[in-house]
Amino acid sequence: MAETFIALGGNLGDRVAMLNTALEHLSEIVSISSRSEFYETAPKYVTDQPAFLNMAVFGSTLLDPEPLLDGLKSIELALGRVAGQRFGPRPIDLDILFYGSERIETARLVVPHPRLQERRFVLQPLADIAPDFRHPVSGLTVTEMLSVLPDEDDVRRF
């Protein structure tokens, strides 16, 4: 069994229902042992879209990293995600943040997630469940990564 952290988010439709449905599907491939609160966040890269609802979970899986990614993509498709504008609106988004302390870089997958340290909407929920978890590359804890982000990012508990 491998330990993993997964980020969940979306900004279309009933966001709470979508995250809860995604959690149900996710529990079929990841044994979820903790989950964060929901956080509402302003869009970061493409700003002309609705606010996102984000969260993070920690759990263990029997799947190797790429099959786990395949499982996440299948859940997204089952819940209505279609290819669209990068960083644009979407009903659901599932990302592998960490897979144990492994460093993975393939054509399809980079773990730890390459942009998590710049995203309050990822780090704030992650801090709910793993404030002292150390990034396997930088060595910084989630709390330390969060503390250096600018306060301008709009993230609030939902």
Residues marked active site are found at 81, 90, 93, 95
Pairing of strands 52-61, 31-35: antiparallel
User: In which residue are the tokens 């801090």 written?
Assistant: 127
Asked if residue 18 lies in contact with residue 10, where contact means CB atoms within 8 angstroms, the answer is yes
What is d(CA 22, CA 42) in angstroms, rounded to the nearest whole number?
Answer: 21
What's the Cα-to-Cα distance from 114 to each of 18, 80, 109, 152, rounded to whole Å? 25, 25, 10, 21
What is d(CA 89, CA 105) in angstroms, rounded to the nearest whole number?
Answer: 26
Backbone φ and ψ for 29, nearest 5 degrees, come out as -120, -15
